[in-house]
């Protein structure tokens, strides 16, 4: 299965990454509720304490068949999503994944995601290596809109 292969690749990459003080920190990871077979998206703040920029290059989780890095842009008055190769995390800075902007796209959920549910998400950074975060499912913050 595609997810399994991806997780295996992430685990391999993690084994090669150097262990050390966490240079990258993820705050408030959350996902929108979703139905089995449907889609969802994960949002978070990524902080980088290093003096060099890092990049989020992959993400994986068992709750979805496919996981992609996406950005949403306004085009002709409409929100359009597209896949991106990586999400830049500036040196001594942060990047925010939020509704209407960058997000981790969960495609074809293997399970229902209800408000209050939690699931692990593996993030792979070019420099910082692998990081697993616990994502909580909650309703979208007021004013935000996905798609």
Residues in contact with Cu ion by CB under 5 A are 70, 81, 105
Which one, 121 or 128, has the nearer CB to Cu ion? Answer: 121
Minimal distance in Å, beta carbon 41 to Cu ion? Answer: 6
Closest contact distance (angstroms) between CB of 126 and Cu ion is 21
**Residue 59, CB-side half-sphere exposure with 13 Å CA sphere:** 29
Q: Least distance in Å: CB of 147 to Cu ion?
A: 8
C-alpha distances (whole Å) from 6 to each of 22, 25, 72, 139 are 23, 22, 24, 28
DSSP per-residue codes, 85-118 = S-EEE-TTEEEEE-TTS-EEEEEEESS-B-TT-E
Cα 17 to Cα 104: distance, rounded to the nearest angstrom: 22
Q: Which is nearer to Cu ion, 7 or 81 (CB)?
A: 81
In angstroms, rounded to a whole number, what is the distance separating the alpha carbons of residues 114 and 129?
30
Minimum Å distance from CB 48 to Cu ion?
A: 23
- Residue 2 CB, nearest approach to Cu ion (Å): 17
17 or 81: CB nearest Cu ion = 81
Nearer to Cu ion, 59 or 122 (CB): 59
- The single-letter DSSP state of residue 143 is T
Q: Closer to Cu ion by CB, 23 or 33: give it.
A: 33
CA 67 to chain CA centroid, Å, is: 8
């Amino acid at each position: 299965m595609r997810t399994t292969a991806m997780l295996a690749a992430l685990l391999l990459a993690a084994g090669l990454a150097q262990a050390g003080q966490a240079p990258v920190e993820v705050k408030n990871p959350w996902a929108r509720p979703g139905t089995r077979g449907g889609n969802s998206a994960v949002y978070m703040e990524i902080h980088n304490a290093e003096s060099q920029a890092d990049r989020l290059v992959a993400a994986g989780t068992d709750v979805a068949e496919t996981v992609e890095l996406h950005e949403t842009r306004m085009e002709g008055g409409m929100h359009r999503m597209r896949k991106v190769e990586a999400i830049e995390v500036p040196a001594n800075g942060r990047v925010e994944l939020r509704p209407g902007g960058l997000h981790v796209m969960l495609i074809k959920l293997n399970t229902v995601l209800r408000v209050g549910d939690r699931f692990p998400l593996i993030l792979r950074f070019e420099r910082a290596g692998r990081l697993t975060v616990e994502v909580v499912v909650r309703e979208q913050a007021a004013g935000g809109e996905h798609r």
